[in-house]
């Protein structure tokens, strides 16, 4: 039997309990899934009406297994961790102090540059498969990739002492790059998908719904990496502070959106896979499960990183730890993760 590393629970009325070293999922007293706690790395609850026993929660906390809750729209709304994971102080003190000095400014530019670099790399990756079959589209995608990289020079020219002084400029540069990126990708999506271009919250079309849901799955993985690195998920640098807004998670996720979620969703689109929706425009249960499994599988794929190849999941955790050491001044620089395709 294959080891179950992620237990996905998406059926209405499901109940998660603990039985002899295993988490068991039942629906109307019938067992539908089971996973040994020894090999489990996370529990992902994506369905409504799901129940949890206190024994299951305690077993997960004792073994450091996070439990994530994601809505049908892909919005993460809760996570359960062992309280011991948030007990570090030194890194968080450094994180708070960095906001008001040059470290915060460096990180804001670095997160933005990593996102733009990866968007450009993905456009070149998409283009290379169209060099012979669609030469005009190939040239357009390559041109847009070069245009995106021009925005990196704008980031380098920004001057200021703190992130507050340049945040609006960073967001403006990032926004213009994103608009060009999504406009270019719109050219590669077949017309039958009816994709209007990038829409975030409230999207009703299948492609944006798939992207939003995929980002929701990735969000939990980033939050876990941040917490394990001893960082405060709510104290970010690009994204502004608001009650209940995990700004640092939203900062760090930018380096991984393209490599993990965009690669998966547009890969499925290229294969003609349909993202099934119900009457309200919400993704159906089987589509949500498929997307969750694909995103999590992508995180296990190795990529080049620091001279070797590591699974993206490991790279994500290392980036969070590099971020922590940079904030503590134990590392001279923080470099974004840039995928090599």
Portions of the chain given CATH number 1.20.120.920: 90-327
Residue 178 pLDDT: 96
Q: Residue 148 contacts by C-beta under 8 Å, 6 or more apart in sequence?
A: 116, 119, 120, 123, 177, 180, 181
CATH architecture, domain defined by 6-65: Ribosomal Protein L15; Chain: K; domain 2 (3.100)
CA dihedral over 198, 201, 202, 206, signed as positive or negative:
positive
Residue 86 pLDDT: 58
Residue 1 pLDDT: 44
CATH assignment of 90-327?
A: 1.20.120.920
Whether the predicted model's global pTM rises above the 0.75 cut: yes
Portions of the chain given CATH number 3.100.10.20: 6-65
- Residue-wise pLDDT for 49-84, tens only, equals 999 999 999 999 888 888 999 988 888 888 888 766
For the chain, which residues score pLDDT lower than 70? 1-4, 83-87
Residue 87 pLDDT: 54
Residue 250 pLDDT: 95
């Amino acid at each position: 039997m294959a080891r179950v590393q992620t237990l996905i629970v998406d059926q209405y009325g499901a109940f998660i309990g603990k039985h002899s070293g295993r988490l068991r999922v039942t629906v109307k007293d019938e067992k539908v899934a089971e996973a040994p706690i020894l090999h489990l790395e996370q529990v992902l609850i994506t369905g409504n009406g799901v129940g949890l026993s206190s024994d299951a929660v305690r077993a997960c906390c004792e073994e450091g297994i996070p439990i994530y809750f994601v809505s049908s729209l892909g919005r993460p709304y809760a996570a359960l961790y062992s309280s011991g994971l948030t007990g570090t102080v030194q890194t968080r003190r450094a994180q708070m102090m960095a906001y008001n000095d040059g470290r915060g400014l460096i990180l804001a530019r670095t997160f933005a540059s990593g996102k733009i670099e990866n968007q450009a790399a993905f456009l070149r990756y998409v283009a290379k498969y169209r060099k012979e079959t669609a030469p005009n589209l190939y040239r357009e995608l390559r041109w847009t990739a070069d245009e995106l990289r021009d925005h990196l020079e704008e980031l380098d020219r920004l001057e200021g002492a703190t992130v507050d002084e340049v945040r609006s400029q960073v967001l403006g540069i990032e926004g213009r790059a994103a608009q060009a990126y999504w406009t270019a990708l719109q050219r590669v999506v077949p017309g039958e998908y009816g994709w209007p271009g990038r829409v975030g919250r409230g999207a009703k079309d299948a492609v944006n719904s798939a992207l939003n849901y995929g980002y929701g799955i990735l969000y939990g993985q980033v939050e876990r990496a941040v917490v394990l690195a001893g960082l405060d998920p709510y104290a970010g640098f690009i994204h502004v502070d608001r009650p209940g807004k995990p700004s640092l998670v939203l900062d760090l996720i930018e380096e991984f959106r393209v490599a993990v979620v965009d690669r998966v969703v547009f890969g499925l689109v290229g294969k003609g896979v349909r993202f099934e929706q119900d009457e309200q425009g919400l993704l159906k249960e089987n589509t949500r499960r498929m997307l969750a499994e694909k995103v999590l599988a992508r995180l296990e794929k190795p990529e080049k990183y620091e001279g070797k190849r590591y699974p993206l999941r490991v790279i994500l955790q290392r980036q969070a730890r590099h971020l922590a050491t940079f904030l503590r001044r134990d590392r001279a620089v923080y470099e974004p993760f840039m995928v090599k395709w």
